[in-house]
Amino acid sequence: MSSSMPDFAAPGLFARRPAWRSVPAEVRLAVEQVLGARMCASRDVSGGMSPGPAAIVELADGRRVFVKAVAASASSESHRFYKQEAVVLAALPRSVPAPRLLGVTEVGDWCALVMTAAEGVPAGPPWTDDGIRLVTAACETLAGIAAPPVLPPIADLLTDLDGWHRLLTEHPGRLDPWEREHAPALARLSAGWPQWTAGRTLVHQDIRADNAVIDPGPEPADIPSTAAAPASAAVPGLAAIVGPRESTAGAGGRVVLVDWSFGCAGADWLDRARLAADIVGSGHHDGPAAALEAARRVLGTLPGGAGRFVAALGGMWRYRSVLPAPPGHPTLRGWQRARAQAVRGLLEVLIEPSHPARPCDAAGRTGFAAR
């Protein structure tokens, strides 16, 4: 079992965002027009996978908002994701722990999204037990909410969950010894994923420590926009801004889930399965053994399909890591490769019936073995 734990907060594994001041003046002016107030100051925000600038902005009327922008020429993929996130955010019911969309504007090939700032600290990386508890509760909230009709089914978004099979048939020479030994069982475990991931529940579909902001305070009041977005910006966007990376130990309060580009409809356990994968992928404050045990606890409360989904995620990350990097995302393939390696310990638990750390479901059944 791999004992290494990559630092996913390291700059080399996330996109390097340019400063907000690099955004063209006409785009910044359009954002001010959407908000109906002048921007007085900004604080750049780092992290994530997009090459576009992001910032917490102070407005002349006293509001603090989160804004992010990207040019299609920098990344057509991120530009498309921003537009999709706008659609998702605009459709979410108010019971969802998400930022509130304030406006969106498009100028030239730029798209800018403005939303309420998620005040607080990220759940990690690395994770803590308190952060896991709070984010699990947020995922359970989503599990009780029906997906808005405009959201696509998960099978329309994740097209490479058969990654282990594709690696075996298309790139067998790229597999290392561990993968050659385990990929056949993992491919069997992942088979048929469009059927067993389907559902009508709201799914965030990108649960990561850096996409969950822990706010120890009460539910914030609404921050209305004082001006409507121009007609060309009929599509709305994402959100969230946080303070310094402090420990979430002893954390209380609420969680705001940010970055909704992949919001979709699916099975009600998908976000918690994704959480389990991220716990071992991003690491735990108390080390790899604590990460594995925490991920086992999460999976142990879920149906057997949750373990299959983790196996499929590992295959998706590893398969995509051998593909050419998309324009504007030079670090993405490295992140996917490191993530696929980091989840190996959990994958061993899922495919080896005799493994001492293998989880059971809530009824005591060992439901995660490949058949």
Q: Is 76 found in the same domain as 56? A: yes
| Model pLDDT, residue 20 | 96
Could you tell me how far CA 360 lies from the centroid of its own chain?
Answer: 26
* Residues pairing with 202 in the sheet: 265
Q: Is 262 found in the same domain as 156? A: yes
Distance from C-alpha of 23 to C-alpha of 301, rounded to nearest angstrom: 46
Residue 335 in any domain: the answer is: yes
* Residues pairing with 116 in the sheet: 65
Residue 369 in any domain: the answer is: no
Residue 186 contacts residue 315 (beta carbons within 8 Å): yes
Closest by Cα among 189, 197, 195, 194 to 348: 189
pTM of the model: 0.85
Residue written as token pair 């050659």: 180
Six token digits for residue 118: 């998620």
| Model pLDDT, residue 49 | 83
Residue 228 in any domain: the answer is: yes
Q: Is the dihedral of CA 135, 137, 138, 142 positive or negative?
A: positive
Distance from C-alpha of 220 to C-alpha of 74, rounded to nearest angstrom: 34
Q: Is 280 found in the same domain as 201? A: yes
Q: Is 58 found in the same domain as 17? A: yes
Q: Is 274 found in the same domain as 147? A: yes
Considering only CA atoms, give the Rg of the chain. 20
Q: CATH no. for residue 59?
A: 3.30.200.20
DSSP letters along 78-119, please? HHHHHHHHHHHHHH--TTSSSPPEEEEEEETTEEEEEEE---
Distance from C-alpha of 85 to C-alpha of 292, rounded to nearest angstrom: 31
Range of the domain at 39: 12-119+220-233
Residue 239 contacts residue 96 (beta carbons within 8 Å): no
Given 3-state DSSP classes, what are the helix, strand and coil percentages for the chain, each rounded to the nearest 5?
Answer: 40, 15, 45
Q: CATH no. for residue 318?
A: 3.90.1200
Closest by Cα among 250, 263, 274, 284 to 201: 263
Residue 345 in any domain: the answer is: yes
Q: Is 167 found in the same domain as 70? A: no
- Sequential pLDDT tens for the chain (371 residues): 333 333 333 444 567 899 999 999 999 999 999 999 999 999 999 878 889 999 999 999 999 999 999 999 999 999 999 999 999 999 999 999 999 999 999 999 999 999 999 989 999 999 999 999 999 999 999 999 999 999 999 999 998 999 999 999 999 999 999 999 999 999 999 999 999 999 999 999 999 999 999 987 655 444 444 333 333 332 222 233 333 334 444 456 789 999 999 999 999 999 999 999 999 999 999 999 999 999 999 999 999 899 999 999 999 999 999 999 999 999 999 999 999 999 999 999 998 765 444 444 433 333 443 33
Residue 238 in any domain: the answer is: no
| Model pLDDT, residue 52 | 95
Q: Is 161 found in the same domain as 254? A: yes
Q: How many CA atoms lie within 13 A of 199 on its CB side?
A: 20
Six token digits for residue 134: 């709070």
Of 199, 233, 267, which residue is a domain's last? 233
Q: Is 78 found in the same domain as 194? A: no
Distance from C-alpha of 338 to C-alpha of 321, rounded to nearest angstrom: 9
Q: Is 161 found in the same domain as 264? A: yes
Q: Is 228 found in the same domain as 259? A: no
Burial label for 21, CB within 10 Å (0-12, 13-18, 19+), is exposed
**Domain count for the chain:** 2
Q: Is 146 found in the same domain as 85? A: no
Distance from C-alpha of 235 to C-alpha of 229, rounded to nearest angstrom: 9
Residues with Cβ within 8 Å of 353's Cβ and at least 6 positions away in sequence, in order, are: 366, 369
Residue 312 in any domain: the answer is: yes
Residue 340 in any domain: the answer is: yes
Q: Is 272 found in the same domain as 167? A: yes
Burial label for 131, CB within 10 Å (0-12, 13-18, 19+), is buried
Six token digits for residue 183: 């990929």
CA dihedral 34, 36, 42, 46 (to 10 degrees): -20
Residue 366 in any domain: the answer is: no
